[in-house]
Every structure is written in structure tokens, then in C-alpha cells.
Structure 1
Amino acid sequence: MALEVEVIKASRKISDRNAGKLSDVLRVAPYARVSTDTEEQLNSYKSQVAYYTDLVSKRSDWVLVDIYADEAVTGTQVTKREDFQRMINDCMDGKIDMIITKSISRFARNTLDTLKFVRMLKEKNIAVFFEDENINTLTMDGELLLVILSSVAQQEVENISANVKKGLKMKMKRGELVGFQSCLGYDYDPATKKISINEAESEIIRYIFQRYVDGMGAYVIAKELTEAGHKTKNGRIEWQDTSILGVIKNEKYKGDLLQGKTFTVDPISKRRLENCGEEDQFYVKNHHEPIVSEEVFDKAQAILHRRGENRRRGEKGKRDKYSRKFAFSSMLECAFCHTSFSRRCWHSGTPHEKAVWQCITSTKKGKKYCPHSKGLDEKLIEDAFVESYKLVCRNHTDIIDELIKRMESVFSDQNSQRRLNKLNSEIQALEQKRCKLIDLCLDEKIDRPTYEQKYAELDASLTGLLEEKTQLEQSAQEEIDTSKRLEHFRKVLRTNELLPSFDRTVFESIVDKIIIGTDADPEQLNPYKLTFVYKTGFQNSIQGKKRGQSSKKPLKNEGGELCSYSQHNTCRIRCIVGKTVM
């Protein structure tokens, strides 16, 4: 018996099906988007909304669910399009049967996002209709055409991004300000594209740099600004140490401009990274009025570089965090292992609580790595400085006179600035000779071998003079810095003749570091000796009291005379005028 097969022709489309039920009316959701907030684009946005409203109203088999539209957002990242996300959620909830949009580029400019959402909606029998391409995702035979067209849309984005990036680089190369809004201390005028000093905020910038140069860390400066009630550029009252470091690193405060600090990896993810040499940067000197001098800025950078040196070397266990939270932070040096001291709190939460400073090597690695160091009471170190300062003040005339004599002898021996002036004249003369030599060669007045020989001789001489000039400039700057430090030291001494108690400001103004202990005599190591090294190079040493040592018995100094300060927690005082630090 032969089989008979009757073919029943298809009469509907899958797009007519809604959640397994047949329907003659489609619930339609138009989607519109513009990528910028310019007047032209916003007019286009309004036109799209009006167009789709009219389009749906003319179709009897369509019913409008809602118009979903995003203004001034990119099409490369779906997460930033709130209305797009709302539309997709409504589709998943079964409220929409078909999405209508102008083109693939309006739906998404990312190939992966286009395919992801088309497939997701297709599983729910929800169609996406692209008008310009005339593609209905439920009736198309395959995804090949969609992939090709969405890839073209993505390539268009990448081409636009490359052209924009090229244009921005050309502006930077001309010295134009690109992408700057404002920063603390400066105001930005969008009309003239110029920046000007904000007098009120500039005082905060000068304060930050001055405190940092004086030895403060970012943590302490941030705390001081918070307590003083100063506000950040964003209006926040609480300051962070990262904000302080951002100010210190910002070259704008010395009047220069560095552009290209960050770059966009690609226009799809829009991920930005710090520029570590992957893209060109553009540095403009004397771009605008500075808030701090170049000398202060460079000094701050030198301090910043020194404090971060260990971290850059990648040494484990030696993170050189220089917060200066406490007066003696990063100021105490162990004489035995040459590491810093850290602050610890003994008997915390009890009436016997006290702050003690201990060698980092001893506390972190173990006593066997620095067996001779001892913990010192913070109060003992403070009292020792008061005694050291009294000694300096009572004899400061002789000490300063001695230092001035040494400084004058050093300056008279070096004369870096005078030699530098002479060197500049010699360099200028050699450059003129080199230019004349080139002219002679171009005019064919000398032969090529002679030219090359003479040019090599001049170039070698010029290179030697330039190297000498670099060294002399450094020496001249060191002489200037030393002179300024000496003058500052004298000023502090005259202003603060005596200290009734420990004063952190005075301490940080004149002391460079304190060396704890001495290993001069291997048989008699002294862990309680404190050597104060002042910023001028002057030093004096104080013998701290050991725990359990009685201070009632008058002690004699090294000369056999009674010590005038034996009634305090510090005893023997010895004055050592050290070599001036250049």
C-alpha cells in the first residue's frame, strides 16, 4: 500500500508567535540613540522619537509599548545605556514582541554585543528589525550578514576614534590645552581655553609644597588640612594622602604642562591606562603662571623620589612609607644596622601605656639580626632634643661663626658659579666655530676629510665641556642650597632662643636625623647614645638614661667637669662640630 504525504504550507512567521501563543497584534518598542549632546545630535534624537511614534501609530497590527531612547551616550558600551537596559529587561519579562531601530550602529557598535542580544532575544521569539539594513532577526536565514554589518559598524567606531586621537595629538603638539577641566589652585575658562590662578586655593597649594619640603609626609599634611577645615576642589572636607601626593606630582603648579599622561586602550572597552611610554607625551614649559617656584617644585620631587626609592627597587620588607605621622618618623637611624626606627605602643590600654621607638630590623627580622639596639622611650628622645637645643642656643654664636667660616672657605675654594660663566662662553665659542665649519663645507671651501676631522675634534671638545657644565651646575646648586639651609638655621635659632618643652616644628626645621647608638668602640657599644645631626652639618651627642638607671648622682662629662644638665633624664653632653654637609 503506497504512502500518501500531504504538504500543509506554512502560513505564519515565527515572529507572529508570542510566548507560544498566536497573536495578530505585535507589541513594538522603538529604540533611538544619539552619541553626543550637541544641538545637532539632540535634534536628531527628537526627530527619531517623533518618527517612531508616527510610524507605530500608522500600523493597525502594531501597538506601542514604549519609546526607549538614550541621549548623549556611546554605543560601544551597553552598560552605560540605561534605557537600552530597561528595554532588554522588559523583553525578558515578556512585555515586547519586536524592537525597531534605525540601524545596527544605533543598536550597538560592538559586534559581540550585537550578536549577544540578538541571540538572547531570538530565544524568546523577540524580533529586532533594522530599518536601514532591512533585516528582521527572526526571519533572516543566518547571522552572516548581521555579523558583517555589525563588524562594519564597529570598524567605523575604531576609524572615528583613530581620527579623533590624531586630531588631539596635533593640538597637543601645538601646545593647546586638551581635556583639562580644572584643578585645585587653578580656574579654567572654556571660552578662551586658558587657566588662571585661584588666589584662595593657591594658598593651600603653597602650604602643601612648603610643608612637604620642610619634611612633612602626605598623611600629616592631609590631616592638617582636614583639621583646618579647608575643602578639596570637589568640596569635600576630608583630605587623603593620595590627594596630597597628586598635588606634589602635578607639574602644572610650576607653570608647565604635560599632556598625554593617560591613553585609551581601545574605543570598545574605553579602558584608560597610565601612559608609561606606550603613547607620545607632550611637555610644554612656561605654559601658564606658576603657583610655586621651580626650585621648590624640584626640591619636592627630589624628596618624593628619595622616599619611594626602596619601593621602586622592589625590595621586600622595605616599603619606604614616609608619612611623618609622628615627629620622629623616618628621622631615627640605627647606628648598628643603619635602618630606621618604628614607633610602638607598650602596655596599650593600661595606665602604664607609653610610646617606644625600636629598630625595624630587630622588631621585624629578629633580635639576632641587630642584637645591640635597644628600645627608647619617646619622652626620653624628646627631652634629649630639648637638651641638645639648649646647648646649641647657649653657644650658637660660636657655632654659627665656625660654620660661616667653613662655608666661606668652601665657596672660595670652589667658585662654581664663576667657572660656570666662563664655561658657557667657551661652549658658545665652540658652537660658533662648528657652525662656521659647516658653512665652509657647504660652500666647498674645504675638502670632506678635513671637514670630518675638524668637526670630530670640535665635537669631542664640546662634549667634554657640556659634561663639565652639568657637574658645575649641580655643584653651584648645592652651594646655593647649603647657604639657604645655613641662613634658615640661623633664623630659627634667633627666633626660638630656649625651649621649655619639646616643639615638633622647631625640631623638624633644624634637625636632619638622629643616630641612635654608637659602635665607635667595639668593646663598649652604646645603644643609648643619641647623636643629633642638624641640617647645617653641625652635630652634638647626648647620653640617654638607661632603664633603671638613677639620675640623682651627678655625672661628669668627658672632660671631668660636672654636667650642668644632670638633673634631667639626659646626662652627658658632648659637642661635636661635624663636617658641613654640601
Structure 2
Amino acid sequence: MSAVEIIDLNQIEKENAKQNVCAYARVSTTKELQATSLALQVETYTKLITEKPEWNFSGVFYDVGKSGTDTKHRTQFNQMIELAKAGGIDLIITKSISRFTRNTVDCLKIIQDLKRHKVEVWFEKENISSFDPKVELTMTIYASVAEEESKINSENTLWGVKKRFEDGVVPMVTSKVLGYKRDKDNNIIVDDKEAKIVRKIFNLYARGYSLYYIAEKLNEAGHKTKYKNLPYKKGAVRGILINEKYTGNALLQKSKRKKVGSRIGEKNQQTHPKYYVENSHPKIITKALWDKVHAIRNQRMMKYNHTTDIVKLKEQAKHKSIYSGFVQCGVCDKNYHFKVNNKKEKWATETLICASNREKKTCENDALFVKTFENQLLSHINDMIKNKYEFLNTLHEVLVSHPEIRKLNIDNHTLEDKLDEVNEHIKSLVSIDSEFEVKVLEELKERKASIETALTGNRNKLLTSHNVETKLKQYKLLLKDYKKPISSLSDFPFKAFFDKAIVYSRDRLEFILNPFNTDEDKITYSFPELMTYYTIRKTTHQSISKVICI
């Protein structure tokens, strides 16, 4: 007699009714105490959600060192909201409204947006749900209080800063300023080794060399920036040249916050008083060298930008090319810049040129016609639209077997084995008779807690920032509304889809997918190459490009 499978319909219905639940935590500083608090929150929420049989654990999203007054730079918060709107989360648990957001307008807007997608937010401290009919009134009151508290804290901090400025106290963070350090009494002193680099930068500029040239010379000599220990670029050199502190004087309150509670700074255009403190600390360069450098700098600004007004320069910078920061040189690793040749003529041509070649050709890579670049990128986008399901299926396989995911899974298995081993040791200590055995047990419990914390962190990563299904869903959503080929890049969010484009030559380009934001450019998978054609002086050339997943 054949076996009969009994299907429990109630159990199936119960399984289908499970809610996808996640938690959100935030700490506004990276201090050790708050880091400990965050680890505890992650552990507590993980335990809370996994213990509920009617809930599917969707991870604990968290942001470190981010203010609650703005959601723009809170990466995990925004990722969580996008996942919720895509249907991946049904319920978000958070400690309080102030942890979620301190901005009333943002809070209400996000809550209303989530409600439209049938996503609930539960605030533990206030004991309210976003599905409560009276929630908007209640949240307006709570969020307004949190926002006002943030403003008061900001105003108190601002008053303290202003008072120190008035007293001539120079707030130099020597860990970020090349050439200076502090002695054992916390006084600012010159770091002789770093000061040589500072003098070299000023002297080279005074002799007429460009920012690019100076950066290259510093990199050739093996020097790195003091802050973050990175290779020198044009911006880092400029930052040193405009820092008046190298003359031994300090101009205070050069910048200000856009508004109370905001983390965004802007140049102080005489709206707040500035304070000039003379001989506040040892100098590295002479005032004469400073004056010479800035006379040259103003001449160059007038030549290339036709103004030395910082406000006008910033206004010009707003009109950036859509390729800004997206196209990278595969030879020297610098960005490609947008340029228009013969701007005022009817035969004006738009080109992309390596930053190393803006003043004189120092990089062997080619300039690229914008139209050629667009055709290559469009061909890949349209190929993805045409073969959407094939592309997404391949991408899913690539993501599942991605080195980042494999490493996390291997680490988890290792940690699980270690945890089993520790638990066995703990069980073996049936009777604790001696002081030594008590000490051994305490050490084992500490080790167990450490392993569990690491394991929770890794599992949480696989559910949040390294969630394969979430990443795939993001790519699906970007392709979802496109049924036919597009004719312009402005019709497609290519910067949200691709991490960057790398130009190895005019005839060889790569478009990079970086789903897990890895720092290494190690190729995980190459999609099929495509060939496009372009014409230079009536001669047709072919270019090969491909999409790479790293």
C-alpha cells in the first residue's frame, strides 16, 4: 500500500501568514560606549524576533555615527526603507521615534509612505504603532519634542564653540592637519618630518607647478595623506595650500552649519563674525611664501574660472556633467572629466578626457567622444532590457556564489563549530569544586559570548547589507518599467545601476556592478562582450565593452 502524505492546511496557512520583521538601531557617535550599546541592541532585537514563531527574522539594520536630523547619509536606514517598499519587510521595530528620525517632516513622510505599502513601524519607548489611527498627531508631538531637543543641544554646542572662538582658542585637530602634532602637555607643536612635505607643496606651487603635478610628485615619493592615509589628489593639495594655519595664524569660523541641527556645512559669507588669531601656534611657512602662493592661485582662478568669488564658483560646480565621478581611467585610476571642444562653434564636440591630461598629456589613455561612450553604455542597458529574465537569473547565480557571501557563510560555519565546541566544554564541567574550575567556566562563558556576538553580526549582515534577494530585487526594480529599448541615457538611472565605468582605451571599456560595495576590483563574473562602432575622420573603428560584476 502506497504511503499517504497528510497535508496540514492550517499549518500551511500559518506559515504563509508569517510576517517579515526587522529592527532598526542608530547611534550618533562612534564612541566605545555607544558601540557597546549598539552591539547590545543588535543582540537583543535578534533574540526578540527569532523567538517569535509567527515572525521571519529580516535582520537588524543600523547606522553608526549618523545624526537623526537627516536621513540622506544613513545608508542602512535607506536600504531598509527601500526593502520594505519592495515588499521584503512587513514590520519594523525601533527603540524610539528619536532613534528613527528627529525630523518631524521626514518622520511623517516616511511613515505615510510605508503605510501605503502596508508596512508597520513599532516604536517601543512610546508604545505606538504607525497603523494607529491617531498616530500622526501623537508622532507630530513626539517628533517635534525630539527635534526641539536636538535643536537645543545644537544651540548649546554652538554657544560653546562661539565662546572659545572669542577667547582665541584654536580648535586644531592635529590628527588631520599635516605638519602638526601635540606634545605630552597637549600643546600644538610642529612635526618636522611632515612639515618638510608642507614646505615642498608650497614651494612647488610658488614655482608655478600645478596641483596635479604636485600630487603626482608626492605619490611618486611614497607620501600619503595624513587623514585616511590615501594617495594624494588635487583636492588634498589644494586643502593644504588654502590652510592659513601653516603661517602660525588661525582664521576661526570660516564655515557654519546651514541651519540648527544640520550636519551640512557651508562657507561663512559674513553672516557670522570671523575671528583672526595671530601667532596662535608655531608656523611652518613664512607669510611672504603664503602671499606669493595665493597671488598665483588668484591669477589662475581668473584665467580659468573668470572669478575668484567662491559663491560663483560653487554655483558653477552645481552644473556638473551626468558623468561626473562615474567614468574612471583604467591606466592611471583618475576620473574622466567632461569637456567641450570648440565650444562656440557649430562643430563643437563633447568629449570625456582623463584628469591627468587636462593641462598636458601625462596619461597614455585616449580621450573619448561622449556620443561613443553613450552608445556603448546604451547597448548594454538595452541588451539587459531585451534579455531581462536571462540577465537577472545569471545575476542571481553570481550573487549567490559571490566571494563576499561565500566568506560570510564559511565564517559562520567556523563560528558555529567553535560555539558547539565551547558548549561541550561547558557541559563537561558538571560539578565545579575548585577555584580553578570556576575561572575556567567564566573564561568559557566569555568566549561563548564573543563567538555568539560575531555570529549574530555575520548572520545580520547576510540579512541586511549582504542580502542576495534584496540586492537582486533592487536590480529588478530598476529594470521593471522598461519594456522597450531606450534611446537616451537620461531615460535610465544608470548611476544607480552601475558603480562606475572604466576606460582602458577608446576601444575597450568595462561597466562595473558592485552589489556588495567591495573595495577590491576583483572580477567575480563577466557578462558577454558587445561591439559598437564609431567614426573618426571618416574612418570607422570598433569598440568592445562588457559588464563586470565585482
Q: Which has the higher contact order (CA 8 A, sep 6+)?
A: 2
* TM-score tier (shorter): 0.3 to 0.5
Structure label with greater radius of gyration: 1
User: TM-score, with normalisation over the residues of structure 2?
Assistant: 0.46
User: TM-score, with normalisation over the residues of structure 1?
Assistant: 0.44
